[in-house]
Structure 1
Amino acid sequence: MAITFDLFGTLVRATTPGDPARAVADELTARGVAVPDDWGAAYREPHVDAPGGAEVPLPAHVAAALRSRGVDAPANAARRAVVAAFDPDVETVPGAPGAVAAAAARGPIAVCSNCSVPELAARALVRADVDRALFDAVVTSVACGWRKPDARIFEATARTLDVPPDSLLHVGDDPRTDAGVEAVGGRFLDVADVPLTEFPDWLEGG
């Protein structure tokens, strides 16, 4: 058995901007990008035609939104602005350190997280009170290209861990996304049913 954890809402709670469009606009302005007057509308519009289940990286969306208004962001300004706008304060969920340690004692473990912002998951893990070194892999939708509940993110995680997909036990807080592991034959454990504080005992009993 390999154990994977959702990150946001499961292992950590991370702050996000109350007004993402404004936060990104402020960071673009700080980098010399001329933000269009109707940026709020441009930010909310879809600009990247992606297949079902695919992740659209937020920097790609931001760059496309700017282009839709005739603005070209120089170099990697869109990426740097997005990363800065979503620089998180992190709170570790009670029981997370013990749950991660218990899982690592049983076999390979990974983070499997929906996240459209580059570097956000890594920063959150560094700032969390969990032992990052215990994870064999960190798989995010922005890196692998697919969002939970799409089966392909779970398949990618299994490949990274070098295990069959049906061996995955995925621990998460959102059945709408995390239960997608069941499509590859894996098992979903909802932290609403087994909180992380109880997970080591549950794992021992299982």
Structure 2
Amino acid sequence: MAVTFDLFGTLVDVEYPSDPAETVARELESRGVAVPDDWHVAYGERHVDAPDGAEVPLPAHVAHALGSRGVEVTGNVARHAVVAAFDPDVTRRDGARTAVRDVAESGPVGLLSNCAVPELVSKTLIRAGLRGEFDAVTTSIGCGWRKPHPKAFETAADALDVEPARLVHVGDDPATDGGVVDVGGRFVDVTETPLTRVAAELEAEL
């Protein structure tokens, strides 16, 4: 058995921008980009034709949104603007690090997070004091698939060298994290089983 943890809303809480489009716009303007007047509309539109469940990196979305209004950005401008826009305060949840370490005593433990922003997961782990606690870190921007798509869980299981059916995923959202059951694994909902009880519950089933 291997265990993966969700990050945002499970192990940590973060303060996201209340208006992401506006925050990204300010960062673009600070880099000399002429943001179109209808930016909020463009930001909310779909610009990348990706398969269902595939992750579209936010910088790619932003670049295509600008391009749809005739504004071209060069180099890594969109990436730098997005990374700067999503630079949140991070609070590690009570019992998070202990839960990860206790689970790790029984087998491999990983992280599986939906995140379309480059560098955000690694930055969050550092700020939460969780860097180095996982045998493998799988992100949707890294593997190309968002939970609940099976490929997200299959990638995480492969990184931990187990079959997907041997994967237990700990998270806070049945609609996304619960997708592990579709590959034969088990979902542990932290809204029902607190982090402080996760390791003991899993150990009792071994």
Partner SS for 1:134: coil
Alignment of 1:195-206 (within 5 A): 195-206=194-205
Which residue of the partner structure matches residue 88 of structure 2? 88
Instruction: Give the superposition deviation at 1:202.
Output: 2.1
User: Aligned letter for 1:36?
Assistant: P
CA contact (8 A) 1:47 1:65 kept: yes
Which residue of the partner structure matches residue 183 of structure 2? 184
Instruction: Give the superposition deviation at 1:184.
Output: 0.8
Q: Distance in 1 between matches of 2:161 and 2:201?
A: 25
Which residue of the partner structure matches residue 115 of structure 1? 115
TM-superposition CA deviations, 1:65-110 (whole Å, max 9, x none): 0000000112110011001000111011111011000111111111
Partner SS for 2:132: helix
Q: State TM-score, norm by structure 1.
A: 0.97
TM-superposition CA deviations, 1:1-45 (whole Å, max 9, x none): 100000000000111100000100011011111111111111011
Which residue of the partner structure matches residue 10 of structure 1? 10
Which residue of the partner structure matches residue 142 of structure 2? 143
Q: State TM-score, norm by structure 2.
A: 0.97
Instruction: Give the superposition deviation at 1:205.
Output: 2.4
CA contact (8 A) 1:98 1:200 kept: no
TM-superposition CA deviations, 1:41-68 (whole Å, max 9, x none): 1101111111111111110000000000
Gaps of 5+ in 2: none
Partner SS for 1:166: helix
Q: Distance in 2 between matches of 1:189 and 1:200?
A: 11
Q: Distance in 2 between matches of 1:133 and 1:147?
A: 23
Which residue of the partner structure matches residue 124 of structure 2? 124
Q: Equivalent pairs: percent with the same residue?
A: 61
Number of aligned residues: 205
Instruction: Give the superposition deviation at 1:200.
Output: 2.9
Q: In angstroms, what is the RMSD of aligned CA positions?
A: 0.9
Partner SS for 1:83: helix
Gaps of 5+ in 1: none
Q: Distance in 1 between matches of 2:26 and 2:168?
A: 41
